[in-house]
Structure 1
Amino acid sequence: MVLSISAFTYSSCNKPLERKADLVLLNGTIYTIDENRPQAEALAIERDRFVFVGNNAGAKKYVDEKTKIIDLKGKTVTPGLIDSHVHLEWYGRYQEEVHLHGTTNFDDVLKIVEQHVKRIEPGEWLIGAGWDHEDWPDKKLPTHERLSAIAPKNPVLLERDGAHSVLVNQTAMNLAGIDEKTKDIKGGQIIRDSITGAPTGIFVDRAKTLISNIKPQPSYDDRVRYILNAVDSCISVGLTSVHDAGVFNEPRLAYQIIDIFKSLAENGRLKNRVYAMLGGNEVYLDNYFEYPPMIGYGNHHLTFRSIKIALDGAMGSRGALLLDEYSDMPGHRGSVVTESDAIKKIAIDAVNKDFQLNVHAIGDSASRLSLDLFEEVDADYPIHERRFRIEHLQLISLEDIPRLKKLGVIPSMQAYHAISDMNWAETRVGKERVKGNYAWRKVLDSGVMIAGGSDIPVVPINPLWSIYASVTRRDIDGLPEEGWYPEERMSREEALKSYTIWGAYAAFEENLKGSIEVGKLADLVVFSKDITKISSEELLTTKALLTIVGGDIVYKRKEFE
């Protein structure tokens, strides 16, 4: 009965309620992403819900002496943005590590490391991230010798951009007991000297655990700080909701992160909304379902009902699993990180225990294997309403695209990856296969929606940069002018939907968020420019001025005072 009354109250066609609004926004350019009312100039919020969307005159009927009124003065409003693929704790941790993004050669990396080594004590770990040898003139993977020479007394671990491979020094390898006799582990690779067989210092995919397992782990308080800092970064760019794509690869630590989210939500400190996925692989088959699904916890600030499994690695490190060999590495097809049989078992358990399954698949073989096992499961355990996802779907064989709609599979794709990878993607897979690389238009035209995201901290956090990539397929310097395979671009409307209503759908939350409608959660963002009309280049400089989550102002820039 309570639910019925609530539904009636919020669906009353903007009819004024006896109780007045807590917050009213007037004189705006409001893009609602509601097909029945695409645009409005005003809205009213009571508690955490929209109670009116329409014109100024209608909104003013909700005003009394206690109502806060904001004059938008023509500013643009959209629903709160949803990033469907982030790594929240990792992003907060990354903010405290040594930044190597933008380095143009290995010498730059070594200079930065050398400066930081001087500031720490002997024996202390130095952790950095962001280097990418594909941005360097010789495009060669570095080896550890020069790094070991400048940091002989400190273990050093430097993550490549994308985090699917790391470079470590000799001190770190010594601590881990790694030498030429160390064997590769399943789902990973130790890059070795072609003559001596000695490790070069590069560890790919699950081989990284040989090093990461021995480095000091953050404390509980550290993780709280990382998450809070990451959340602050999110709301500053208009991200009111995020899908945390694998809160940790080890369930014990993942459940700790979920407990942190719960505690923050209970205490009103989780300022945005988190849709958390448990991450991992077949090692933890017996641990995935220790927690039952948790939906809408803390007034819809936390939901935990999905599991993310990595089937392959990344394209940049040549760990993505391909149907045919890499064009620039004959005989090599990538790595299987988690076997299909293990994923199938998790998929069946997920269906039976009301969990969503999200498979990390970057290569075309990984995409096909994901669809194959989904079809096998679907034969006995229908998955269409379970909204299984493929995370990344960076390369897919064109003949496999129609299978997405047939199975109800949602591709969760990160547009910025296309413009960061485009300078070497064709070299990896060749001119023919690249037609299925970041094939957004082909996917959309097949009748499938795309959940848009960033993959922070791998790429920049600003959602407008991802939207820019979606609609231009140009890098931030505007190159190539015609766009990289421009026929795959999204429209401005599609790109915005990928960050709003489609992201909400990918989390079973389209009736709660993703559009500005009466009865939905009052999540919105006010932008400094009209993101539907400005030039594509201006998207890169447009700012979030005001972020509202559940009717609360959680972020405001000074110029909006």
Structure 2
Amino acid sequence: MQESERIRVGILSLIVVIVVSQIALFAQGTREIPDAVFYNGKVITVDGLNSIREAFAVKGDKFLAVGTSREMRALAGPRTELVDLKGKAVMPGMMDNHNHAYHAAMANRGIDLKDVTSLAALLEGVRKAAAAAGPGKSGWQLNKFPEKHPPMRQDIDKVAPNNPVVIYVNRGQIYLNSPALKIAGVTRNTNRIGRVVIRKDDQGEPDGSITGESGTVARIADMISPATHAEKEKLLIETQKQQLAVGLTSVRDLQLAPDFMRTYYEMWRAGKMLQRISAGLQVNPSDMETLEEMLKPFGVGVGFGDNWLRLDCLAEFNPGSIWRSGNPAPAPNIEAAIYKNAILVANRYGWRVSPHTDSDGAMDLVLDAFEAADKESSIRDKRWTIEHATYVQLDQMDRIKKLGLVISAQAQLYRGAANAVRTLGKERAERAVPIREFLDRGIMVTGGSDWGGNSDSNNPFANIYFYVTRRSIDGNVIGAAQKITRAEALRVETINNAYLTFEEKIKGSIEAGKLADFVILSQDIMSVPEEQIRAITPLATYVGGKLLYDARTTIPKN
């Protein structure tokens, strides 16, 4: 071959490479000029191949194309914003599969004493707040108190005798003083409010402890210290900002009463939403016998809405909890026939259900009801969900697989490992939240926090750290056999959660045509030492291509 021929062949090869590259780009729909190009990074796409790319382009609220830095920059027009990632890692926006954002927001009213270390310190905080407010003012909801030192009515009365006080622990537990009990209509003759038992002291007077069905507890708190719509909206916006600061672009907010939905609806209508919300409507045990009355006039169902606000499920059909009972295998707190009928009713009206299921006894109750519903009208393609799945027997996993259920798991053991060992025993605790076993059986697993419920943290990087290491916050490994890989953990927190909300085709990965929800990371989550995973923070969080959190200008609230 002559020298001139070799040169010609080389030129033709270069042309072929360029043409093929451009064809690939056009195939992704890149004829449009992007609004922004992010280049020179490590783009963890979480696509079907877990591809790592260098750059991507954004047009409007969607990813326009993904590829090399050269390819993406070649798409830019004169007005395209060029963002040099300077080698930083980027991943899809994360989602929380089980979050109580509304309740967490309302708990942030008043003063925050979550870090107090004694009952005396907590009461001193209440005293100062009551003194500053003046007699009769209410709303002092505290979002945490030290365990084993509960503040009883008499304790709170000593420091706030004239102010209604609500000490908020979680959705199912509050403590009230005498003025608050009076507003709630609780006297020595009150034994129950719905399914909430009113505890009494040695003299037969209410001791101020209100614990039980979360919906009823929340309504009691709201009765004592009602918030205006403007207050609720402000609190929800602040909560969404906090969640964006930890990299959460979407949240599945469960157990929302219809009136709680009003605030989200007004925010959505006004274009004020900062996060994408999938809302699970509240169904408590006390609602089960009358569920048909609730659903029959309801004109819409699962999937109604858009990519900012949508209806997701009925939740949580709670048949009892191992954590509140302190019993490793508590008996369900509702009759099997009533429970099964409620599940059948939900299926008949086209709703999927997401029951709280954290013990093997509750799991049998739930699976029996699901199997009955499936016989009546198949649920296998409806992505019905098991919430928590804390402890599951192997035969129950087979039943879960057969029904095509989705596991909504949370990393509560990261903070609660010691409590799990106390409650379940060491051997059972080792198998708690068995994500490795679920994945090995081909069962879809999603991840989240239960923030605002039984967790005071919504940090997804702590979740990923726990999934990968099974190491709790106290440094102990619990259930090493249940470890999963980093790539698997990222899918659990992103694309799998999109599947959970029927949105895997529009979000959950960095691919052309999908919603441009993404996070720029402080460190590369795929290569940092394991112990540093939980220390990763977002440098920036984008939702629909818009920068909604920037670490350079925003200090997130913990």
Match of 2:547 in 1: 553
- Distance in 2 (alpha carbons) for counterparts of 1:532 and 1:54: 19
Alignment of 1:161-560 (within 5 A): 162-185=170-193, 187-193=195-201, 195-206=202-213, 208=217, 211-212=220-221, 214-248=223-257, 251=258, 253-264=259-270, 267=271, 269-281=272-284, 282-283=286-287, 285=291, 286-288=293-295, 290-293=298-301, 295=303, 297=305, 300-318=307-325, 323-324=329-330, 335-336=333-334, 340-341=336-337, 343-415=339-411, 417-457=412-452, 458-476=455-473, 478-480=474-476, 483-558=477-552
Q: Which digits, 9 at most, give the CA deviation of each residue in 1:353-405, with x for residues without a partner?
A: 44321112233322221111111111111111111112222233444232221
Q: Deviations over 1:179-231 (max 9, x none)?
A: 443223553333344x5444332221136368436313222222221222122
- Residues in 1 aligned to 2:428 and 2:207: alpha-carbon distance in whole angstroms: 31
Letter in structure 1 aligned against 2:314: I
> What letter is aligned with 1:38?
S
Identify which of 137, 159, 173 aligns with 1:124. 137
Give, in angstroms, the shift of residue 29 of structure 1. Answer: 0.3
Partner Cα distance (2:132, 2:359) in 1 = 41
Larger radius of gyration: 2
Residues 67-82 of structure 1 correspond to what in structure 2 (within 5 A)? 67-82=80-95
Paired residues of 1:397 and 1:436 also in contact (CA < 8 A): no
Task: Rate the CA distance shift 1:209–1:502 in 2: closer, same or farther, 3 A.
Answer: closer
Q: Which moved more, 1:450-459 or 1:504-513?
A: 450-459
Assess if the C-alpha contact under 8 Å between 1:306 and 1:356 holds in 2.
Answer: yes
- AA aligned to 1:518 is A
Structure 1 CA distance for aligned equivalents of residues 337 and 268 of structure 2: 33
Q: In the aligned structure 1, how far is the partner of 2:137 from the partner of 2:484?
A: 47
Q: Which runs of 5+ in 1 are unaligned?
A: 1-9, 325-332
- CA deviations 1:242-289 (Å, max 9, x no partner) are 1111223xx3x044234224314xx3x212211111113353622346
Q: Which residue of 1 aligns with 2:163?
A: 154
Change (3 A) 1:533 1:34: same
Retained in 1: the 8 A contact 2:327–2:423? Answer: no
Contact 1:91–1:226 at 8 Å: present in 2 too?
no
> More displaced, 447-456 or 352-361?
352-361
| SS of 2:502 mapped into structure 1 | coil
SS in 2 for 1:395: coil
Tell me which amino acid in the other structure corresponds to 2:104: Y
Distance apart, 1:235 and its partner CA: 1.9
- Provide the C-alpha distance between the structure 1 equivalents of 2:86 and 2:131, rounded to a whole number of angstroms: 52
TM-score, normalization by structure 2: 0.85
Per-residue CA deviations over 1:322-377 (Å, capped at 9, x if unaligned) read 645xxxxxxxx5744xx655554443344344432111223332222111111111
Listed one character per residue, the Cα deviations across residues 395-453 of structure 1 (whole Å, up to 9, x for unaligned) are 334442322211112121220x2122222222223344434433333333332222111
Q: How does 1:25-36 map to 2 (within 5 A)?
A: 25-36=38-49
Q: CA RMSD in A?
A: 2.8
Q: Given residue 176 of structure 2, which amino acid in structure 1 is its aligned partner?
A: V
With 513-522 and 341-350 compared, the bigger mean Cα shift is at 341-350
Deviates more, 1:280-289 or 1:494-503: 280-289
Tell me by how many angstroms 1:24 deviates: 0.9
- Residue type of the alignment partner of 2:127: E
CA distance in 2 between partners of 1:44 and 1:445 (Å): 35
> CA contact under 8 A between 1:14 and 1:51: conserved in structure 2?
no
Indicate the residue corresponding to 1:50 in structure 2: 63
8 Å Cα contact 1:16-1:62 kept in structure 2? no
Q: Which runs of 5+ in 2 are unaligned?
A: 1-22
- Spell out structure 1 runs of 4+ moving beyond 6 A: 10-13
Q: Closer, same or farther in 2 for the Cα pair 1:177/1:518, shift >3 Å?
A: closer
Could you tell me whether the CA contact under 8 Å between 2:95 and 2:251 is conserved in 1?
Answer: yes
Distance 2:29 2:219 in 1: 62
How much has 1:466 moved relative to structure 2? 2.1
SS of residue paired to 1:515: coil
How far apart, in 1, do the equivalents of 2:153 and 2:394 lie? 40
The verdict on how the C-alpha distance between 1:291 and 1:559 changes in structure 2, with shifts beyond 3 A counting, is same
Partner of 2:13: none
Which secondary structure state, in structure 2, belongs to the residue aligned with residue 110 of structure 1? helix
- Counterparts of residues 4-23 of structure 1 (less than 5 Å): 14=27, 17-23=30-36
Alignment match, 2:18: none
Residue range with higher mean Cα deviation, 75-84 or 442-451: 442-451
Residue 254 of structure 2 contacts residue 316 of structure 2 at CA under 8 Å; is this kept in 1? no
Shift of the 210–451 alpha-carbon distance from structure 1 to 2, 3 Å rule, reads closer
Q: Distance in 1 between matches of 2:530 and 2:409?
A: 20
Q: How does 1:47-126 map to 2 (within 5 A)?
A: 47-126=60-139
Conservation of the 8 A alpha-carbon contact between 1:321 and 1:334: no
Structure-2 separation of matches of 1:11 and 1:371: 47
Structure-1 separation of matches of 2:199 and 2:484: 38
Deviation at 1:15, TM superposition (A): 5.2
Cα gap change, 1:471/1:100 in structure 2, threshold over 3 Å: closer, same or farther?
Answer: farther
CA distance in 2, matches of 1:97, 1:491: 41
Distance in 2, matches of 1:164 and 1:15, equals 49
Equivalent-residue separation in structure 2 for 1:257 and 1:295 (angstroms) = 19
Q: Cα–Cα, structure 1 residues 424 and 156, in superposed 2: closer, same or farther, change >3 Å?
A: same
Shift, 1:132, TM fit: 5.2
Aligned length: 523
Q: Sort the Cα spacing of 1:111 and 1:316 in 2 relative to 1 into closer, same or farther, 3 A.
A: farther
Q: 1:216/1:11 Cα in 2 relative to 1: closer, same or farther (>3 Å)?
A: farther
Aligned-partner Cα distance in 2 for 1:21–1:159: 48
Conserved in 2, the CA contact under 8 Å of 1:322 and 1:365? Answer: no
Shift in CA distance, 531/404, structure 1 to aligned 2, threshold 3 Å: same
SS at match of 1:214: helix
